[in-house]
Amino acid sequence: MGTELFTVLISSIKSRFATIVSKLRLWTSWNFIRTRIIGGIRDFFLKLMDVRPKHKDDYYTIFGWMVSKKLAYAIIVMVGVVSIWYIGTATKIFSNFGGNGGLRTYNYNSVLLRFAKNRVRIKGKSGYIAYIGDVANGYVTGQGELYSPDDVLLYNGYFEKNKYEGSGTQYYDGGGMHYNGSFHENLYEGTGRLFREDGTLEYDGEFASGLKEGEGKLFDGGSNEIYEGNFSSDNIVYSELLGKSAGDVNEKYFGKKVLYESDEDLDEGSALLLKDIDVMLSLKSDGGAADDSEKTEMVYVLSDLYTEGKKTADCLEELKDIFGSPVYDGNTGVIFPEAMAINSLNDGKLVFDGPIQTHSTENFSDDIFVSGYDSTYKVYVYTFRKGDLMYSFICPDSSGNFEFYSISEAG
């Protein structure tokens, strides 16, 4: 009962003051104030235009001429208004009340731009508004927005001497977000988020010199996280998967997987395909170790392009520029994980001499039990050593054009 009485009391108070609150909101709204001001100015000019004299005292006598006082007053006011308008237009005194938001506009090559400060607008070569924002000492410096000739926002953020510097957002030509994060001299630097043109998230993490570098997360076309780890020169640091168990891999990789298990007669461990990052892992157990779980012995990168820093290689001569001379090259029969890698590649396109014949049983679509494969299937291998790692590039022949490569620990 007490709660109901309290509710009735509050409702009564609200209804009593609702009209007053509504009026206060009306009186303090900009539209109401502007309407009153414009209405007052209109009424003033309507009265001003009523110049007909109504009494003899409404005249001035000037050199014997009778001049209406209201007419003289109206002329003086109109001359004053026209003068103020002219001065304002010529000197841009009232530019703060104009349609451009009060910003001075300069051509990109204007000498006056060198002396401008704070926020301005800058026209591009063809006359479009290319930039709106801060300038200092003749440079685009501070917060600003960069536009294309089609009036599409390309960048919104901080500048330093005409370059992206600090936090900002870069956009595709179509208007979608491309990158949001930190910049240094126009390049991605620090932490940020990279987006595909369709708007899905591609990467969230660290950058250096415009490339993925350091810790980060990789996402698929649906913005679902598929990998978390270290990156170098835009690529996953694949070697960090060496020595990892299947459980360890599951903590880094969250995409689609297919497990190929060899039977006891083959005794060649397992091969784990990480489909969303095009990697095949060779897993083997060490029977003499206390922990007998299978661990990654080799990482197969299913790509015909190798990248290191700013260098890329897709043939033997380019590999030599990066690694030097190979420590081994020659024909060899495929081993179990290589056979599974070749068959996986042949699902997309014909490579080598086609797929390798295998005897297998599917327990599930992502768990395949392999009882045999054609180990006489030949490939040509070039192997290089770099530090504590061995890189083997698997080719159809000795031409040096590889289809994929493996990484393993030296020794």
Which tens digit of pLDDT belongs to each residue from 214-270? 999 999 999 999 999 999 999 999 999 999 999 999 999 999 999 999 988 888 899
Question: Which among 309, 325, 329, 348 is positioned nearest to 402, based on CA atoms?
Answer: 329
387 φ, ψ (degrees, to nearest 5): 65, -125
- 244 falls within a domain: no
* CATH code (residue 179): 2.20.110.10
Provide the pLDDT for residue 369. 93
Judgement on whether residues 120 and 264 belong to the same structural domain of the protein: no
The fraction of the chain above a pLDDT of 90, given in percent, is: 64
The fraction of the chain above a pLDDT of 70, given in percent, is: 77
Rounded distance, CA 105 to CA 121, Å? 5
pLDDT tens track for 122-163 = 999 999 999 999 999 999 999 999 999 999 999 999 999 999
Judgement on whether residues 273 and 382 belong to the same structural domain of the protein: yes
Give the contacts of 236 (CB within 8 A, at least 6 positions apart).
Answer: 218, 227, 229, 230, 277, 279
Judgement on whether residues 64 and 143 belong to the same structural domain of the protein: no
Residue 11 has pLDDT above 70, yes or no: no
Judgement on whether residues 281 and 138 belong to the same structural domain of the protein: no
Residue 158 near residue 164 (C-beta atoms within 8 A): yes
Q: Which long-range contacts (CB under 8 A, 24 or more apart) does 168-174 make?
A: 172/197, 173/148
Rounded distance, CA 182 to CA 210, Å? 10
What range defines the domain where residue 306 resides?
Answer: 251-409
Judgement on whether residues 61 and 155 belong to the same structural domain of the protein: no
Give the contacts of 254 (CB within 8 A, at least 6 positions apart).
Answer: 224, 225, 226, 227, 228
- 205 falls within a domain: yes
Judgement on whether residues 314 and 179 belong to the same structural domain of the protein: no
Residue 57 has pLDDT above 70, yes or no: no
DSSP β-bridge partners for residue 387: none
Residues in the chain: 411
- 7 falls within a domain: no
Rounded distance, CA 136 to CA 294, Å? 62
Provide the pLDDT for residue 366. 87
Judgement on whether residues 298 and 361 belong to the same structural domain of the protein: yes
- 176 falls within a domain: yes
Q: Mean of the pLDDT values across residues 188-213?
A: 97
Judgement on whether residues 306 and 339 belong to the same structural domain of the protein: yes
pLDDT tens track for 18-50 = 556 555 655 666 656 766 676 677 666 656 566
Judgement on whether residues 148 and 287 belong to the same structural domain of the protein: no
Provide the pLDDT for residue 39. 66
Question: Which among 334, 348, 335, 344 is positioned nearest to 396, based on CA atoms?
Answer: 334
Residue 317 has pLDDT above 80, yes or no: yes
